[in-house]
């Protein structure tokens, strides 16, 4: 009888061993397939965490107080926020962020252009870290939540995890990116674009100037950064520096609020292109030059602005958008026919090829309009023409798991707005979490998201980072 039991036991062990070999082979093949598809090392299956969603406690009063305090570092009066790169208020706001990181027990460092990093060192510190973050610069007369939630909320997410006594395997890092907004030097996502290894930007920053003819290097030095021309490429990140990147952000659109859904999980970020156009005409006295004799650069710009709208709407997709955000006329007098016109165009799409077709149509329209109106098309420059970014399928899955654990409904959605995540996706798997904002308002003082939305977003971020850190 004992011998028979022994034989059965051996057979069972053999079967389990063979099954384990089969499962291992299958998992390896799945990981290889994901790696081939994404270009990044694939994730292993989720490790089990001892952390319970019910144990996640957000200090929303403290977080709201920090949001208010940060908004006070502004060059415009409340309720508006204006915080321009390397200005005095920007420097003070940076100091405030570094103090919050230090209070959270993070190891803080800055690079030579002011990207700020706060790291919670994991038990296996040599492994690539899980990163999160956003920006704190603000365009003139805007609101207090754009970007801010992704920085202050990230610091609080780490505090939340620390209150659970979690010991992360991978280090967790909060990044405050320099100058996501293009306000001062006309370059959007300056910090993250450079971190992602843009040689073109590293070269351009040696020469670019702002509206007061101050160079980028001079502005950085005035803010206390010991920056030298040869240092710019030294801040480039490698593809193995981070395991993943997740950004928390307000939606900047009305979908989540309109549908009553608390969480958006971003699947892709639309591809933006920026264009500057200059027309030159003859000008003249507004009363003396008859209408048939005019070569009006201002009207050429106005006609091109309407063409931008037409080409975007004719693309066949609601995901195509075109905007003329800047239109400047010279000499800018009511009784003078504009002799020069400068316009700046933003066009975006989730489909890069379709977006590029629109860019080309805008160019052809500019040529035709200049010829028809007898003006010179002195400049048509594509300032940037970035590809779209796709979120990592595995990070999407991790975020979906977090939403289910937190009992939060969610939408899978694309981001039509630009984010630092677009560039972080070039060096590491990326994902984004959206929370609703009032009427979809952003870049204006009415920008708002509720305490409940913030709590949901911070918990989502904390749980997602905890799961990723255990991989």
Residue 30 has pLDDT above 70, yes or no: no
Under the banding of pLDDT at 50, 70 and 90, the label for residue 441 is very high
Cross-strand pairs, 180: none
Cross-strand pairs, 433: 248, 265
Same domain, 123 and 166: yes
Q: Mind listing the pLDDT tens digit for each residue in 284-296?
A: 999 999 999 999 9
> What is the model's pLDDT at position 33?
30
Domain assignment of residue 4, yes or no? no
Domain assignment of residue 45, yes or no? no
Same domain, 217 and 176: yes
Same domain, 234 and 312: no
Same domain, 158 and 67: yes
> What is the model's pLDDT at position 471?
86
Residues 6+ apart with CB under 8 A from 49: 166, 466, 467, 470
Domain assignment of residue 174, yes or no? yes
3-state class (DSSP) for residue 440:
helix
Residue with tokens 């007898």: 374
Tally of domains within the chain: 2
Residue 36 has pLDDT above 80, yes or no: no
Question: Can you give the residue range of the structural domain that contains 282?
Answer: 272-385
Same domain, 304 and 174: no
Q: Mind listing the pLDDT tens digit for each residue in 249-282?
A: 999 999 999 999 999 999 999 988 999 999 999 9
Distance CA 146, CA 149 (A): 7
Q: Measuring CA to CA, which residue among 361, 277, 364 is closest to residue 324? A: 277
- What mean pLDDT do residues 328-348 have? 97
Same domain, 177 and 109: yes
Residues 6+ apart with CB under 8 A from 221: 227
Residue 21 has pLDDT above 60, yes or no: no
Under the banding of pLDDT at 50, 70 and 90, the label for residue 338 is very high
Domain assignment of residue 34, yes or no? no
Kindly report the pTM of this predicted structure.
0.83
> What is the model's pLDDT at position 167?
93
Q: Mind listing the pLDDT tens digit for each residue in 130-182?
A: 999 999 999 999 999 999 999 999 999 999 999 999 999 999 999 999 999 99
Q: CATH number for the domain including 340?
A: 3.30.70.360
For the chain, percent helix, then strand, then coil, each to nearest 5? 40, 25, 35
State the chain's mean pLDDT as an integer: 90
Same domain, 348 and 214: no
- What mean pLDDT do residues 41-66 have? 76
Residue 465 has pLDDT above 70, yes or no: yes
């Amino acid at each position: 009888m004992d011998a028979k039991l022994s034989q059965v036991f051996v057979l069972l062990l053999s079967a389990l061993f063979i099954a384990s070999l089969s499962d291992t082979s299958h998992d390896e093949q799945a990981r290889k397939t994901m790696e081939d598809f994404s270009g990044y090392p694939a994730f292993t299956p989720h490790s089990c965490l001892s952390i319970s969603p019910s144990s996640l406690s957000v200090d929303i009063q403290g977080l709201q107080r920090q949001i208010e305090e940060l908004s006070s570092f502004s060059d415009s009066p409340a309720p508006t926020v204006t915080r321009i790169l390397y200005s005095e208020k920007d420097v003070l706001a940076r100091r405030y962020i570094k103090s919050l990181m230090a209070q959270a027990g993070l190891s803080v460092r800055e690079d030579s252009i002011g990207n700020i990093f706060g790291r919670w060192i994991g038990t296996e510190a040599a492994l690539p870290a899980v990163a999160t973050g956003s920006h704190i610069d603000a365009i003139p007369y805007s609101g207090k939540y754009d970007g801010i939630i992704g920085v202050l909320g990230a610091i609080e997410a780490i505090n939340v995890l620390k209150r659970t006594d979690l010991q992360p395997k991978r280090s967790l890092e909060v990044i405050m990116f320099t100058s996501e907004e293009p306000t001062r030097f006309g370059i959007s996502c300056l910090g993250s674009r450079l971190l992602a290894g843009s040689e073109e930007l590293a070269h351009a920053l040696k020469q670019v100037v702002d509206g007061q003819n101050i160079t980028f290097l001079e502005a950085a030095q005035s803010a206390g950064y010991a920056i030298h021309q040869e240092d710019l490429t030294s801040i480039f990140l490698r593809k193995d520096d981070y395991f993943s990147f997740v950004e928390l952000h307000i939606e900047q659109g009305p979908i989540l609020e309109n549908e009553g859904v608390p969480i958006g999980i971003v699947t892709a970020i639309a591809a933006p292109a920026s264009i500057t156009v200059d027309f030159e005409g003859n000008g003249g006295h507004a009363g003396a030059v008859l209408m048939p004799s005019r070569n009006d650069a201002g009207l050429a710009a106005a006609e091109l602005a309407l063409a931008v709208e037409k080409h975007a709407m004719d693309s066949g997709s609601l995901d195509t958008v075109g905007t003329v955000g800047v239109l400047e006329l010279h000499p800018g007098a009511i009784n003078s026919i504009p002799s020069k016109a400068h316009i700046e165009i933003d066009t975006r799409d989730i489909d890069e090829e379709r977006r590029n077709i629109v860019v080309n149509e805008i160019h052809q329209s500019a040529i035709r309009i200049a010829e028809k109106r007898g003006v010179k098309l002195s400049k048509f420059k594509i300032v940037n023409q970035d590809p779209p970014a796709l979120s990592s399928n595995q990070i999407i899955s991790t975020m979906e798991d977090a939403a289910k654990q937190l009992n939060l409904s969610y939408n899978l959605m694309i981001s039509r707005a630009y984010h630092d995540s677009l560039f972080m996706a070039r060096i590491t798997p990326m994902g984004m979490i959206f929370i609703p904002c009032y009427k979809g308002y952003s870049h204006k003082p009415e920008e708002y998201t509720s305490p409940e939305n913030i709590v949901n977003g911070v918990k989502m971020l904390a749980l997602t980072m905890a799961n990723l850190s255990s991989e």
